[in-house]
Structure 1
Amino acid sequence: MTADVPDLRELLDGAVVVALPLRVRFRGIDEREALLMRGPEGWSEFSPFAEYDDEESAAWLRAAVDFGWSAGPAPRRDRIPVNATVPAVEATRVAEVLARFPGCRTAKVKVAERGQTLADDVARVRAAREVLGPEGRIRVDANGGWNLDEAERAAHELAPFDLEYLEQPCPGVEELAELRARLHDWQLPIAADESVRRAEDPLAVARAGAADLLVVKAQPLGGVRRALDLVAEAGLPAIVSSALDTSIGLSMGAHLAAALPELDYDCGLGTAALLAADVTASPLLPVDGAVEVRRVEPDAELLARHTASPERTAWWHERLARVHERLAG
């Protein structure tokens, strides 16, 4: 074991690679894979998406080690209000999706999906507003899918639905700053996600005045402590979100949200509702619009049922070995 990274054998001891089916297609996948490992503090998760390279995946492994092998910061709350997440489904399916998030009064609606149009986005957001009513909160997430002019046009088209904020409407920090200037009189906040977690300098967006809010995720940012430090240094309100994790990964996000000094926005930690299966008989599902802050123990029978194929397990073990070598080196 190095100063802060356990030996690879220790990480693999008892580790399980799972493949969990999704209820609806999300981020172009129908199944979510994750490598689960057990440390002295409990179970943890390493689940960078398959297309992420080893350099980017290193932060995800650092987060898994931090959560499984180190005691976390003291929680300030034991329940985290969460939003519903609406993938880029047809508008006719929005009510069905929202029904899986009982008590949630905020919906994050995915927009700017490749192969879809702004009209599709408008119809999806309209359907969410019809379900939530005038008191519900709606935020949209473009995952950087619009250019500057497309984002400005979309903001105009979506204005009748009283958006809470736009999440990552454009990919670049300069574009976000210009869009924020163009929308200043509207008082429509801009939230940055990819410009934080996938940036060489995650604080650049804050220094440039390109966002009003930060969306932070424990795994991509290297763990709970590193994410807390980032939020403190940025000096912006934060929303904690997930990367379509298992309930074990969601537990990491819940502990991050619990440790924030202030939590003024519903968090994107209710996504276990999008899984058709999980690794525990007590998943971190929204109850009365919130999830609990607790460690999650997987169920042996569920782990066995959803263990990935030998080929995918070998792929994840090889990936873990390469990424571990980066950290240990």
Structure 2
Amino acid sequence: MKVTEFSLPLARPLETARGEITEREGFVVRLDPETDDVPARGVGEATPLPGWTESLSACRAALEERNSGTAVAGANPNSAIPASDAPAARHGGALALLDATARADGVPLSTTLASEAGFPEPAETVPVNATVGDDAATATAEAARSAVESGYRTVKVKVGARALEADVERLRAVRDAVGESVRVRADANGAWGRETARRALSEFEALDVAYVEQPLAADDLAGHATLRAESGVDVALDETLAEVDVETVLDADAADVLVLKPMALGGPDRAVAAARTAREAGVEPVVTTTIDAVVARTAAVHVAAAIPDVRACGLATGDVLASDLAPDPAPIEEGSIDVPEGPGIAGAAFDDVR
């Protein structure tokens, strides 16, 4: 296994729960038939984001630990990288192994993922949502209108930073701007208490908001379950999955939608398995990223394609980076992404990534 560290500047600083970040740091993971027990070349990416995954140093240590032995063993992704406490590291190893397997089979990664999950043939295109940040009502509506004019059919609006009345006004302006046929979502990032969240979902129902993402704190499963029972607006959980596993969320009846991040879950294979588990429980999965570089971001497109009839996914994150590891083989066009035909993640598109 060859591991190469990288650092990519962001186009603009990103505020997270752990402070502002200005770059994304991670590792490109490479497997080669001449040195590793794999059937073809494979490339992966491990880009940790503290709060969602292990730290950069812990990710480096996990990769070094795995690399201190001999070749990566067999075709089981769980044997490639420590699984329990280093999800980003495992993602890098699992993705490289899956890429190698798909390349050897001459099929796109999405085909391999769908087959392993028992899903039918994957989709050729994936719908994507546009994300509209926090701004005054007029500017928010204009941004949403512009996204729809560019071809997006789903718009997600950031809420929770302002008074609830202001967010209701913003969403009303968005609905007026985009019309009734466009799906509108809201993302509160855990900003509200239970009473505010209850009032918010009551107000948003009249505006035909499809779902509210993370209305309450990540650890408030009971509160989310109550919101689901009392509201006509679906509840989606995102940050919660950084703290508890999918099965715990499902057992608590806390979500109508799960926002799956392959890097945080420990690999594309785990993300597709989580989607299957969610579907079996009557919960819808959508796929997004942790602001990853192009290798992992393209793999996330394959994850979404492997999930039958997936809803619009949060994969329009490439423009957050000022530069990338390679040209994007899966650009967004008119609100959707054509899945690379492969084989693997994107054929030989990432062979020169260092």
Q: What TM-score results when the alignment is normalised by the length of structure 1?
A: 0.75
SS at match of 1:245: coil
Residue type of the alignment partner of 1:137: R
Unpaired stretches in structure 2, ≥5 consecutive residues = 32-40, 59-83, 102-108, 115-121
Measured after TM superposition, the shift of residue 199 of structure 1 is 2.7
Question: Deviation digits for residues 176-221 of structure 1, max 9, x if unmatched?
Answer: 11111111xx2x22122222x2133321111122212221111101
Question: Deviation digits for residues 256-275 of structure 1, max 9, x if unmatched?
Answer: 11222x23411111222444
Aligned to 1:250: 297
Aligned to 2:86: 58
Aligned to 1:194: 239
Query: Over aligned residue pairs, what C-alpha RMSD do you find?
Result: 2.9
Which of 289, 299, 305 is the matching residue for 2:335? 289
Aligned to 2:125: 79
Aligned to 1:265: 311
Residue type of the alignment partner of 1:39: R
Which of 177, 190, 195 is the matching residue for 1:131? 177
Aligned to 2:96: 68
The separation in 2 between residues aligned to 1:90 and 1:277, in whole angstroms, is 30
SS at match of 1:134: coil
Question: Deviation digits for residues 238-288 of structure 1, max 9, x if unmatched?
Answer: 11112222332221211111222x234111112224445444333643202
Aligned to 1:165: 211
Contact 2:29 2:46 in 1 (8 A): no
Aligned to 1:45: 45
Question: Deviation digits for residues 60-102 of structure 1, max 9, x if unmatched?
Answer: 2211221123334255122111111112234344334763672
Question: Alignment identity in percent?
Answer: 30
SS at match of 1:161: coil
Measured after TM superposition, the shift of residue 29 of structure 1 is 4.0
Residue type of the alignment partner of 1:16: F
The yes-or-no answer on 1:19 pairing with 2:67 is no
Aligned to 1:314: none
Measured after TM superposition, the shift of residue 50 of structure 1 is 4.4
Change in CA separation of 1:279 and 1:98 when aligned onto 2, cut-off 3 Å: farther
Aligned to 2:198: 152
The separation in 1 between residues aligned to 2:48 and 2:134, in whole angstroms, is 21
The separation in 1 between residues aligned to 2:178 and 2:329, in whole angstroms, is 25
Residue type of the alignment partner of 1:61: A
Aligned to 1:181: 229
The yes-or-no answer on 1:222 pairing with 2:213 is no
Residue type of the alignment partner of 1:253: A
Unpaired stretches in structure 1, ≥5 consecutive residues = 1-5, 305-329
Contact 1:247 1:284 in 2 (8 A): no
The separation in 1 between residues aligned to 2:147 and 2:169, in whole angstroms, is 20
SS at match of 2:11: strand
Q: How many residues align?
A: 284
Measured after TM superposition, the shift of residue 293 of structure 1 is 2.2
Aligned to 1:323: none
Q: Which has the higher contact order (CA 8 A, sep 6+)?
A: 1
The separation in 2 between residues aligned to 1:156 and 1:18, in whole angstroms, is 42
